[in-house]
Every structure is written in C-alpha cells, then in structure tokens.
Amino acid sequence: MRFSVFQDSLLGQRQINQDRMGYCFTRDALLMVLADGMGGHPRGEIAAQTAMQTIAAEFQAQASPLLADPIEFLDAAIRRAHREILRYQTANQLPESPRTTIVACVVQRSKIWFAHAGDSRLYVLREGQVLRRTRDHSKVQSLLALGLIQPGEELTHPERNKVLNCLGSPFEPTIEVTNAIALAPNDRVLLCSDGVWSGLPEADLARLACTGSVQTAVPSMVRRAVLAQGRSADNSTAMLMDWEGETIAETLSSLDLPDGAFTSTIAQVLPLDTQASEPELSDDDIERTIREIRSAIGKTQTP
C-alpha cells in the first residue's frame, strides 16, 4: 500500500477537545478512526478515546496482515467499543455513561469499507467531487429523508445538533456499514467531526480536501471551519488520506513491513482483556500527540 495521511484538530470555542482520531496499518491493511465525544454527557472525551483504542486493539489482533472480513470486523469492533464504554461507566460508578459518535474505515486490496454511528462523517472524494459519503444519524437527516424539511434547512434547524445514534447510550447502537468501494489512484478519503462539515458547504469541503497535499489541505480546512462558525465553533477535527498519490515525498509505504508488524498513531492501545479505565489525556497530551503524528508522517518510507 502507498498512501499519504494527515490529521489535525482545533479546540474551537469549547473548553476541552472531545474529538479523537488516529490510524494504524499492517503491511496490507489500513484502519482510520475518528470519534467525537458528545457534549451534554459526562466525559465525552473518555468515550471517544475508549472507542478509538478498542477498535485499534481489535485491528491489531485480527489484521494479520489482512482482515478476513472487513464488514464483520467493523461491525464487531465498534460494538465492542460500545460495550467498553458501558463497562467504563460501571467500573467508575457513573450515573450516566459517556457517549461518542464514531466513523471508521478499512482499506485493503485497493478497496475501502466504512462504518459509522452518529454524525461524524466519511467522504470518498474523486477529482474534487464527492463520490460517496456517510449519512448522518441525526434528527435533521431524518426530517430531510421524510421530506419534512427542504434541502438546506438542516443547516439552520434548531435541532441540527440532535444525534439519534451513538456509542455509550443505554440502547444497542445501529452500526451502518458500507460495502466495498474500489479506490482509484489519487482518490482521497476524509473523516471529520461535525465541527468541520457543519462549517463548510460540501462543495467547498471537497475542493479544499482535494487541493494540494494532505499536509496543507487538512489544516486549511479545519481552520476555515472554525473561522466560519465564529463564537459557536465546535471542536473541529479532520483526517485525510490520499490513496496512491503521485507526490512520493509525502507518501507512506507499507511494503517493507513484515508479516505481523503493526504501526499506529493511536496511543495506549488497549489489550482486549483489559478493564476499561480513564485515559489520562490532557489537552497538552493531545497537542503533543498531534505534533508527534505530524513528525512521523513527514518521514518517508519508500518501497
């Protein structure tokens, strides 16, 4: 596999950053995950971190170096993340569980599979256009689908922030999994929280994501989303992958990885039999992790 990937996150006007993102890969498979801890519930950042770590741990255990069934993996790993969040609630005797949206994808054999719960999005982009994207599990998306509001009204609807599906709720989440889509060279895959996509028209988002390198596109996109939302700006997080792009100096290669090797930007991957506990991640920790990721991505591996 040859790909470029970059990620960035801004606090916006919130007191803490509850978004989490990361990726990991073996010689033949790539996993990308983004989670948006939900405000209005306790410790949303813990739910997001727990979900990301759990899914990464499952990937590490099963991708050897390919996943046998990406659809089954995504569904089972995300459901396990949901259970780990509930276990965290029980272990810490919380009156209510932390909650998070989730979007994750697997790339292997030049195909992508993706799954989500909530309103964090994934876009498959080709030549500056949206080829496919997830559909939000939200109140306004349901109203739009039923024809009760018109396209465009969801952007200013008073219940636009109401999410109908997430991890950590008392109910079993609905995991919507999208079947394989073949990737062409220079296709880009964008994962982002609602703090990004709600601040930019979709056409602008696609154009920005496909302009220049991923290292320049992501910071520009995140910054513009925050500026566009002004004082209402949420945490804004994006991760962008360029599949088999032509800029060799910015491309990672997994071809030199031996069987069993595993590379990850997701810190503190949870062993699968470990009791969930609170990750001690401050905002400084998050910023340091982002800097380390940027540094790692800047180093080129060539086949």
Reported as a single tens digit per residue, the pLDDT across 41-82 is 779 999 999 999 999 999 999 999 999 999 999 999 999 999
What does the pLDDT average to over 34-38? Answer: 96
Reported pTM: 0.85
The lowest-confidence range among 136-140, 185-189, 247-251, 289-293 is 289-293
As a whole number of Å, the end-to-end CA separation of the chain is 9
216-249 residues labelled b (16+ CB within 10 A) or e (exposed): ebbbebbebbbebbeeebbbbbbbbbbbebeeee
> Cβ-count burial of 64 within 10 angstroms (0-12 exposed, 13-18 middle, 19+ buried)?
middle
Cα–Cα dist 175/73, whole Å:
12
Average pLDDT of the residues in 194-198: 94
**Token pair listed for 234:** 């949420």
Q: Is the pLDDT of residue 91 over 90?
A: yes
User: Where does residue 106 rank: exposed (0-12), middle (13-18), buried (19+ CB within 10 A)?
Assistant: buried
Fold of 2-248: Phosphatase 2c; domain 1 (3.60.40)
How many Cα atoms sit within 13 Å of 176 on the Cβ side? 18
**Which residue from 6, 23, 32, 21 is spatially nearest to 281, judged by alpha carbons?**
21
CA trace torsion 183, 189, 194, 195 (10° rounding): -170
Average pLDDT over residues 256-273: 67
DSSP state of 299: S
Residue 300 has pLDDT above 50, yes or no: no
Say what the alpha-carbon torsion angle 155, 156, 162, 166 is, to the nearest 10 degrees.
Answer: 20
Please report, to the nearest 10 degrees, the dihedral formed by the alpha carbons of residues 79, 84, 86, 88 taken in order.
Answer: -170
* Non-local CB neighbours of 164 within 8 Å, separated by 6+ positions: 137, 138, 139, 142
